[in-house]
Chains A and B, each alone.
Chain A
Amino acid sequence: MFANVLRIEWTKTVKRKLFWGELAALALLLVVLEVFLYVIYQTNPAGSEMSQDARTALLTLLTWPGALINSLALGTGNSLGGLLVIVLVGALTAQEYTWRTLHLWLSQGTSRLSLMAAKVIALLPALLLVVLTPLVVGGLITAIFTVQLSGSLDVSQINGVQLGLSVLRTAYSLFPYATLAFLLAVVSRSAVTAIGAGLAYALLVEGVLVQILALASGTLAQASQYLPGRLASGLLSANQGAIRGTLVIGEQRITPQYLDPTTAAVGIALYTILFVGLAIWAFRRQDLTG
């Protein structure tokens, strides 16, 4: 029975235009970005105004193996991937209240727990596709660039196991955002509220919290590391082994400090369990009217 409920949930997702539209938007954006970087690289040959360091960095972003891993960056929890997942999960979950299809599944004898569990599990392949789309599209386009710029494509430079782990880590970084949107959709029963509040958190609230906590000292300052976006960064640091970039506050330059990937993974698991647990708790108590 549960497998059948799971199949229903997955069918509803893959038949949804929104899902494929998001993946297409992700792919298109990546193509535009890669082509833009390529044009910049080609219009600034060696000896031009662009420094050699900048050219080397650009070349890394445009050619394998670095470009392949970098393609994943667009699908992470703390980038466009997280935002797309909030929109997708918010719409998929909350609109079932409006359409009253939740009522339909329940009135056919499906238990509330298995319905919620199926909804969460059916999200996993969707999250994986959000990660794989930029990898495949970015991988293909940068493979062409690699041949053009380096003369050949050396596939032996790719560690298949590490690449697979990077994909899984990236998909896992989406969990807190997906489950937050799921919780908001169940509690509010409104797609607009769930998506609006989810995006507000991802785009605004978390950033503001990080800034405020960075001004504090001691334990409070450390707390920002445990926010979902920072945990995602900590986890994804394992994809490339190092994090580049710094936070600038006033005149101080602060190098971001993230948790190690294992601790970050545990933190993400706790957020996921908390959000899914609260959603199931709320759903089991809900009266489904209208």
Chain B
Amino acid sequence: MSTDLVLQTEHLKKHFGKVRAVEEVSLQVRRGEVFGFLGPNGSGKTTTIGMVLGLLHPTGGRVELFGQEVTPGRNRALQRVGALVGSPALVPYLSARENLQLIARLHPDVSRQRIDQVLAIVGLSEAADRRAEGFSTGMKQRLGLAMALLHQPELLVLDEPTNGMDPAGMREIRTLLRSLAEQGVTVFLSSHLLHEVEQVCDRVAVLNKGRVVALGSVGELLGKQQEVVRVRVSSPSEAARRLQSLPGATSIKPNGAYVEVAGVSGQVVVLHLTSGGIVPSEVSTSRPDLESLFLELTQETA
């Protein structure tokens, strides 16, 4: 395995009895990138992360972190990883600072100043000495993130890190993740928030029914998507019939008072319609985004 690869999974599988939670996941995450891990609920994202973190025994395949195989019985490489998976794991009767002090004992290099520093990074300095059980969901999430960042890990594994946060908090986290990536930290980000992934991630993998159905940079994946031209006409069915003869049009869908056409430019569509005596009253084009790609991929394989 190349030293540039921080995380690698090969043919990873996890079955719970008859339930095939993860069927085939092969990924490579490179040093310093922000890698997005997308998928609908139940697609196997958290199960995959559980195997990466040595919490679940894979049914098949293998996980490597920094070139070392990770299993539930062999997890030393995880000392270089910071993780926040699902709702944060906290000792509720301890304060935020005491929770961080517990984690710090596992990492002798962590100083007291570092604890204050991460509390400040996640905006919990003022609540540092309050018990975690009294925290809101967003504050718990921030503390979980502070715990993941505490020992300055080389790889951050985050599952829905902005869960329960307000929009300002979500933006702070996105900025933080980008800044960490610039400092060379690799981020593996699982999220339902597609615009969050689109804004932050260099590459993404889309998981559906336990299998990777798309993998590549956001630009590459969106580049495969075609621009959609939307025209408003008095008779959408007549316009759709007319457009059937347009060379290059890959998809023609009447949609209410509109017709949506893919595969050709807006200019060509307008020209083709007007030459047939149909004059559109409105023309717009929609740029493909991760959300439409995600829906297309997960519905195709559903």
* Complex alpha-carbon distance, A4 and B105, angstroms: 6
Which chain A residues numbered 98 to 143 have a C-beta less than 8 Å away from chain B? 99-101, 103-112
B57 close to A8 (CB less than 8 A): no
Partner of A107, one of B47, B53, B102: B53
Contact with A along B72-110 (1 / 0, CB 8 A): 110111111101011101111110001000110111100
B56 within 8 A of A: yes
Q: B residues bordering A, Cβ < 8 Å?
A: 16, 47, 50, 53-57, 72-73, 75-81, 83, 85-87, 89-94, 98, 102-103, 105-108, 147
Contacts of A112 in B (CB 8 A): 72-73
Partner of B76, one of A107, A109, A285: A109
Q: A residues bordering B, Cβ < 8 Å?
A: 1, 4-5, 7-8, 11-12, 15-17, 99-101, 103-112, 284-285, 287-290
B106 close to A106 (CB less than 8 A): no
* Complex alpha-carbon distance, A104 and B55, angstroms: 10
A85 smallest CB distance to B (angstroms):
20
A103 close to B85 (CB less than 8 A): yes
Residue in chain B with minimal CB distance to A284? B73
Residue in chain B with minimal CB distance to A4? B105
Contacts of A7 in B (CB 8 A): 105
B56 close to A287 (CB less than 8 A): yes
A8 close to B102 (CB less than 8 A): yes
Given contacts A106-B55, A109-B78, A111-B75, contact A5 B106 (CB under 8 A): yes
A107 close to B78 (CB less than 8 A): yes
Contacts of B57 in A (CB 8 A): 285, 287
Contacts of B73 in A (CB 8 A): 111-112, 284
In the complex, besides A103-B89, A109-B77, A288-B55, 13 extra interface pairs with C-beta distance below 8 angstroms are A4-B105, A4-B106, A15-B91, A99-B89, A99-B91, A104-B103, A106-B53, A107-B85, A108-B79, A284-B73, A287-B50, A289-B55, A290-B86
Looking at A17, A105, A108, A284, the one whose CB has the most chain B CB atoms below 10 A away is A108
B50 close to A12 (CB less than 8 A): no
* Complex alpha-carbon distance, A1 and B80, angstroms: 15
B56 close to A288 (CB less than 8 A): yes
Residue in chain A with minimal CB distance to B98? A15
B72 smallest CB distance to A (angstroms):
7
Given contacts A100-B86, A284-B73, A287-B55, contact A105 B81 (CB under 8 A): no
Contacts of B50 in A (CB 8 A): 287-289
Interface SS of chain B: loop
* Complex alpha-carbon distance, A288 and B50, angstroms: 8
Residue in chain B with minimal CB distance to A5? B106
Residue in chain A with minimal CB distance to B144? A104
A104 close to B147 (CB less than 8 A): yes
A-B contact pairs, 13 of them (CB 8 A): A8-B106, A12-B102, A15-B91, A17-B93, A99-B92, A100-B86, A103-B85, A104-B89, A106-B55, A106-B75, A107-B78, A108-B107, A288-B50
A90 smallest CB distance to B (angstroms):
17
A107 close to B72 (CB less than 8 A): no
Partner of A12, one of B56, B91, B108: B91
* Complex alpha-carbon distance, A99 and B55, angstroms: 15
Contacts of B108 in A (CB 8 A): 4
Counting from the closest, the 9 A-B pairs by CB-CB distance are A109-B79, A104-B89, A100-B89, A109-B78, A288-B55, A107-B53, A4-B105, A287-B56, A107-B83
* Complex alpha-carbon distance, A5 and B93, angstroms: 18
B89 smallest CB distance to A (angstroms):
4
* Complex alpha-carbon distance, A284 and B73, angstroms: 7
* Complex alpha-carbon distance, A72 and B83, angstroms: 46
B91 close to A108 (CB less than 8 A): no
A103 close to B76 (CB less than 8 A): no
B78 close to A108 (CB less than 8 A): yes
* Complex alpha-carbon distance, A8 and B94, angstroms: 12
* Complex alpha-carbon distance, A285 and B55, angstroms: 10
B85 close to A99 (CB less than 8 A): no
* Complex alpha-carbon distance, A111 and B106, angstroms: 12
* Complex alpha-carbon distance, A289 and B19, angstroms: 14
B89 close to A101 (CB less than 8 A): yes
Looking at A5, A7, A11, A107, the one whose CB has the most chain B CB atoms below 10 A away is A107
Residue in chain B with minimal CB distance to A18? B93
* Complex alpha-carbon distance, A104 and B47, angstroms: 15
Contacts of A105 in B (CB 8 A): 106
A106 close to B54 (CB less than 8 A): yes
Contacts of A107 in B (CB 8 A): 53-55, 78, 81, 83, 85
A111 smallest CB distance to B (angstroms):
7
Residue in chain A with minimal CB distance to B157? A107
* Complex alpha-carbon distance, A243 and B163, angstroms: 62
Given contacts A284-B73, A288-B56, contact A108 B89 (CB under 8 A): no
Residue in chain B with minimal CB distance to A1? B106
Contacts of A11 in B (CB 8 A): 102
Contacts of B106 in A (CB 8 A): 1, 4-5, 8, 105, 108-110
* Complex alpha-carbon distance, A112 and B16, angstroms: 21
* Complex alpha-carbon distance, A209 and B78, angstroms: 47
Looking at B54, B76, B87, the one whose CB has the most chain A CB atoms below 10 A away is B54
B93 close to A16 (CB less than 8 A): yes
A222 smallest CB distance to B (angstroms):
41
* Complex alpha-carbon distance, A83 and B274, angstroms: 88
Contacts of A109 in B (CB 8 A): 75-81, 106
